[in-house]
Amino acid sequence: MILTLTPNPSHDRTVTLGEPLQRGAVQRAESVVSQAGGKGVNISRASVAAGIPTIAVVPADRDDPFVVELLTAGIDCRPVPPAAGGLRVNITISEPDGTTTKLNSPGPVATQEVLDDLATSLHHRAGAADWVVLAGSLPPGTPDGWYADLVEALRDTGASVAVDTSDEPLRVLVSRLPRSAPHLMKPNAEELASFTGTEAARLEADPAAAAAAAGTLVDRGVAVVLATLGARGAVLVTAQGAWHAEPPPVEVVSTVGAGDSSLFGYLLGEIRGLPAPERLALAVAYGSAAASLPGTTIPRPNQVRPDLVTVHDLSLTGV
């Protein structure tokens, strides 16, 4: 079972344009799609589609349309009463060439009571989970070290913990390694660069450099680092080795949700007991499938082709 926490969920609205975005102009959209979203929620969607039991913990009222949508989609959603203020709305503008522009609102301010209730809900259910996924940004008012605190608090549950976040929450988590080390971290190239001092463009262009940077996290206690590199696929680094996976050629429609799909693909491979290179191939296959779909559409298993992914053993090159 995969237990997900999305502390700052959103109503995701994707505006699809028929021509490139022109700043200051008036343009007509080809379509506008709204969906209950957030990184953890996306992983729970993928879990349901793949037949993997999942529970999504979110701060929301039980009768909020957000919760109703998740329940209707078959996602076991466990809402925790939020602080005052409605859920945030995130807007994605998708252009014909696959370029996506995201406008994310901050979300309502979280009180200590809400944070404590979320942590209690998570801890109560973690014992039955294979994985606990802490994903996305933190709402305003949340201490930057909250994810790091949760990782430490969940250690006695027996569940493996994955973290996918950025900015200050990521910086604090890394600064507190190895004490706050989760089992799995999933940075992208920009996030990996933010605490290694290497340029993001170099990491995205050079898988060996990305693997070396990810290896610094493994050296500090993180068991698995899955670093996504956009069109270059992803690298996987553990104490046993390092691998790079190249995705098959795809027509990119929207990159929103691709990283979440990659993380789910890895977790699915781990739950199935696949060896590391095959877990990586499944992660990249999920990510590339998501990139070929509109908006924040999460791919179904029959849309995922790990057999088309090429995996290279970087350990053989001395990484």
How far, in Å, CA of 209 to CA of 110, rounded? 38
Instruction: Report DSSP state, residue 154.
Output: G
CB 83 within 8 A of CB 89: no
Looking at this protein, which amino acid is placed at residue 186?
Answer: K
Catalytic residue among 61, 260, 307, 313: 260
Strand order in the sheet with 184-185: 76-80, 54-59, 2-5, 131-135, 160-164, 184-185, 224-228, 234-238, 241-246, 310-313
Q: How far is CA 91 from CA 86, 139, 192, 253, in A?
A: 16, 17, 25, 16
Element containing residue 35 per DSSP (H, E): strand 29-37
CB contact set of 215 (below 8 Å; sequence gap of 6+): 225, 237, 242, 319
* Residue 235: CA count within 13 A, CB half-sphere: 28
Determine the straight-line distance between the first and last CA of the chain, rounded to whole angstroms.
33
How far, in Å, CA of 181 to CA of 186, rounded? 13
- Backbone dihedral angles phi then psi of residue 163, each to the nearest 5 degrees: -125, 130
How far, in Å, CA of 250 to CA of 234, rounded? 15
CB 60 within 8 A of CB 67: yes
| Catalytic-residue membership of 260 | yes
CB 126 within 8 A of CB 157: yes
Please, what is the angle between helix 146-153 and helix 167-175, to 10°?
50
Which of the residues are catalytic?
Answer: 260
